[in-house]
Copies of this chain bind each other. A is one copy, B any other.
Amino acid sequence: MDFSYSDEQFMMYDSVLGLMRQEAGPSACRKTYRHGSAVARQLAGKLADQGVLGGGASEAHGGSGLSLLDYALLFEAAGQTLLPFPLVESFVVTTILQAFGEKEQQERWLSAIVSGETIPTIAWGDDSGRFGTGGVQAVRARGRTRLFGRRKFVPFAEISGLVLTPVYSTELNGVFLTLLDPHRAGVEIEPLHSLDGSYPLASLILNGCTVEEGELVWQGGNLWERALALAQVALAQEALGVAEEVFRNTVEYVKVREQFGGPVGRFQAVKHVAAEDYLLLESTRVANRYAAWLVSEGSPEGPLYAKMAKAYASDMARRVTGDAIQLHGGIGFTWDSDVHLYFKRAWRLAQELGRSTDLREQMARRVVDGQLEEGDGYGYSL
């Protein structure tokens, strides 16, 4: 019974957090608000130098072959430093390529990703604005496969060299995933102004671009479920990082901000909010850790607990970052204060890959509609 990260995992966290504090943080975040994804392009090399883009890639491809559990703390660091880079997408793409890609695909892409040369991303949203596999159709004619349709909510599409996107093929009567270079004929990227200006999102419009054999990674919607579970836990960890960073800053602020003859942190109205937020933070921490472990182990329970972690973390982060504005008073509402950067990121994260209510509804289909199975909740899941 050991429910804690290893010393190695903590050491990697410390060193990556150090790098990210230096290279990212509120200033890089603000730069991205102004200049868009170009900032991420610059960050890629620095992250690669420290091996952060190694993700699930094996050592043969220059990667570290690490699991979601190994990476969990790095996503937390990304949240703490408001990293304006698609680290989650990078990790999911390398992990899936390594596990399911053909040798040729791996050789073609993995080392380019690990070195920071190619930034991968994922076309998360379907045409209904949710996170299913719909929206893009593959049409086969004259020996070529062409794609038509639209996917939404694609992070950093403009600087990305590789987009993972699900495609429906009428011919094959099923869903497969494709890895697509978006800078080719028949692909259009439609950037949109986002509330969280440090994480540009775009729509990907496919007007008949061709895909080659090597670009079809794997058939079947299960792989998309797997990508979602990996990313949901990663986002939950990012949300934890976002919230804990602004929470710590807020706690320090209320210790020094004086009103009515003393620090405002002495008032119960402040203390009790801080105590409740702390409890939510620590609860998120254990929920995420468990979900990361289950998903890394390939447990059939993984997706359920990934949803739970994402929903809980999203609700927590929205509340904690909102409280941070309130506890900062007027200053917290200014553009110059960093608080709003965390607040907006928390809300953007919460809406990605399923609203909390959508995730809980998905969970209910198993827990409420199904039967609690032997072992559920009694400590021997997996």
Contacts and interface: CB of A to CB of B under 8 A. Distances in A.
A267 B268 CA distance: 7
Contacts of A272: 268-269
Interface residues of A, number: 4
Nearest to A268: B268
Contacts of A268: 267-269, 272
A150 to B, nearest CB: 30
Copies in the complex: 2
A324 B188 CA distance: 61
Nearest to A267: B268
A269 B267 CA distance: 9
Interface string A254-291: 00000000000001110010000000000000000000
Contacts of A267: 268
A269 B272 CA distance: 8
Interface string A110-150: 00000000000000000000000000000000000000000
A272 B267 CA distance: 11
A269 B266 CA distance: 12
A268 B272 CA distance: 9
A265 to B, nearest CB: 12
A274 to B, nearest CB: 13
Contacts of A269: 268, 272
Nearest to A269: B268
A269 B275 CA distance: 12
A316 to B, nearest CB: 22
A273 to B, nearest CB: 10
Interface in A328-353: none
A119 B283 CA distance: 55
Interface string A280-317: 00000000000000000000000000000000000000
A382 B268 CA distance: 46
A269 B269 CA distance: 6
A269 B276 CA distance: 13
Interface in A226-277: 267-269, 272
A9 to B, nearest CB: 39
A267 B271 CA distance: 12
A245 to B, nearest CB: 27
A272 B268 CA distance: 9
A223 B80 CA distance: 62
A238 to B, nearest CB: 32
A272 to B, nearest CB: 6
A249 B267 CA distance: 25
A268 B268 CA distance: 5
A275 to B, nearest CB: 10
A278 to B, nearest CB: 16
A169 B268 CA distance: 62
A259 to B, nearest CB: 13
Interface string A43-79: 0000000000000000000000000000000000000
5 contacts: A267-B268, A268-B268, A268-B269, A268-B272, A269-B272
In the A-B complex, the 5 residue pairs with the closest CB atoms: A268-B268, A268-B269, A267-B268, A269-B272, A268-B272
